[in-house]
Amino acid sequence: METVRTLAQDARAWPFEEARKLLSRIGNETPEKGYVLFETGYGPSGLPHIGTFGEVVRTTMVRQAFTALSDIPSRLFAFSDDMDGLRSVPENVPNKEMLTEHLGKPLSAVPDPFGTHESFGYHNNSRLRDFLDTFGFEYEFQSATECYREGRFDATLLNLLANLDAVTQVILPTLGPERRATYCPFLPICPDTGVVLQIPAIAHDVDAGTVTFQRDDGTSLEVPVTGGHCKLQWKADWAMRWTALDVDYEMSGKDLIDSVRLSSRICKILGGRAPEGFTYELFLDDKGEKISKSKGNGLTVDEWLRYAPQESLQLYMFNSPRKAKRLFFDVIPRHVDDYLTFLGKFGDEEEDKRLENPAWHIHNGTPPEEEGHVTFGLLLNLASACNTDDKSVLWGFISRYAPEATPESAPILDRLVEHSIHYYQDFVKPEKTYRAPDDRERAALEDLAAKLEAMEQGTEASEIQNQVYEVGKDHGFENLRDWFKALYETLLGREQGPRMGSFIALYGVQETLALIRRVLAGEDISQG
């Protein structure tokens, strides 16, 4: 452990850089509260999404790096803003009419349309916890409603009330003229309807700890700021929470840069210190547009996990977090194979290199030891050549190629086989377009068939690859990419494909030979 700790002082991987920044913040000493607090935030108006996963996994990676660097205790709060008012009825829920009757109420006070929990907010909180538990994250769940009602925020809320004018002056320049005229950081919970009211404040009493608001009918409403009778508008709320909980670290997206600055100023007014932070870039869809929950133009966690293991998604989150990246189905295969590459290299690397390896951060320093045997790209092409959704068919080829591998001894590979079938059926198969070879390609294929027929059993993939190269050269393919493209389009129905030597070794020399003969005979091989 001491070796890791020593090496971690100079490790360049971004989680270590962030952890060292955090250690500097606390002067390498345990804070007065007894631990360092990491926080992630969650709006429970809908189900957890891929951004939620990204923020928690990245924060967890920083926390792991922090633990490698020091013995200072740490905690991670997954904080739910479940006291926010329900602004609109989601599309993907039952009992929409019932929800309409409760618009404006805190999510924790809105009945659960699914009928399984005390409230809609608590239903989604439960989904969040289930979601985080699925991935094995270590965290502590925190509810805004409970914090407000149980008095955990009371002292800081009274502090904010005492500094109301200063806090308000920070926020007003960011508002339009109409909203500026009536703005107050405090929002009262109507004692009659339970709705979070957006009404102007007309007075406040620091000694009494109250704010007086003017209702739409002209009457006044005096409400304590403590005990859950009020909630703060979110920018002030964020700063209040940082102060009340003494948050040390929280990352956020690029779209919240201005909000972070503003909330940090409020935090300072309250006598707190804004947490260290990390600004990550946003995800883009296949058209390069920002992914939005409301648009539904991105990729969900469930969709990614249908086609690839969660470790590949963690790798996606680890890579270049400050760079805007496309998040679409076509990025999945590369991240699977990159993960396998990093996992395969880990065991042979020097200790300092291991700390830079994403596998260290994905697996908290102890990646599993399992030979990759077959890349995901090869599995996709095997599924394509076999045109099958039967795992056992693919395993039949794999067992011949790598006899030591079984579903039991190679669980990672077994999962990849299943993922590859799903990906092939949903994305590869619908796009397969075979074409007939032209005269030069036909002659080259006939030559390749002759070489395969003469090939000894058990020929290595590298030697097969050399033979394929030689055929391309012999038939005048100046750019060998054109030769390989021809192989992919005529044999696999794809514009891109694997190293042919590796594919032939996996699929089988005789099977490849049979495939070539069918193409030369003019057969329709699109159906298998």
Q: What is the pLDDT of residue 372?
A: 83
pTM over 0.95: no
In tens, the pLDDT along 310-330 reads: 999 999 999 999 999 999 999
- Please tell me the distance from the alpha carbon of residue 284 to that of residue 325, in angstroms, as a whole number: 6
- Segment 67-95 shows an average pLDDT of 94
Per DSSP, the three-state class of 230 is strand
Tokens of 212: 């007086």
pLDDT for 497 equals: 87
> What pLDDT does 378 receive?
94
> Is residue 294 predicted with pLDDT exceeding 60?
no
Average pLDDT over residues 118-130: 94
Q: Which helix (H) or strand (E) holds 223?
A: strand 220-224
Range among 264-273, 471-480, 491-500 with highest mean pLDDT value: 264-273
Which band of pLDDT confidence, cut at 50, 70 and 90, is reported for residue 268?
A: very high
249 DSSP assignment:
B
Mean pLDDT on 281-310: 82
The proportion of the chain whose per-residue pLDDT surpasses 90, expressed as a percent, equals 87
Per-residue model confidence as pLDDT tens digits over 208-249: 999 999 999 999 999 999 999 999 999 999 999 999 999 999
Helices (H), 114-221: 120-134, 144-149, 154-162, 164-171, 177-182
State the pLDDT confidence band at 50, using cuts at 50, 70 and 90.
confident
- pLDDT at position 350 is 95
pLDDT class of 528 with cuts at 50, 70, 90 = low
Structure tokens at 255: 């779209």
Question: What is the reported pLDDT for 1?
Answer: 53
Residue 295 has pLDDT above 80, yes or no: no
Can you list the alpha helix ranges (DSSP code H) found in 357-390?
A: 358-362, 376-386
Question: Residue 102 CA to chain centroid, in angstroms?
Answer: 32
Q: Distances from the Cα of 243 to the Cαs of 92, 206, 250, 406, 528, in angstroms?
A: 36, 19, 13, 54, 64
Is the separation of the CB atoms in 388 and 403 below 8 Å?
no
Average pLDDT, the chain: 94
Task: Tell me what the mean pLDDT of segment 412-423 comes to.
Answer: 97
* Measured distance CA(240)–CA(143) in Å, rounded: 15
Summarised one tens digit per residue, pLDDT across range 195-210 is: 999 999 999 999 999 9
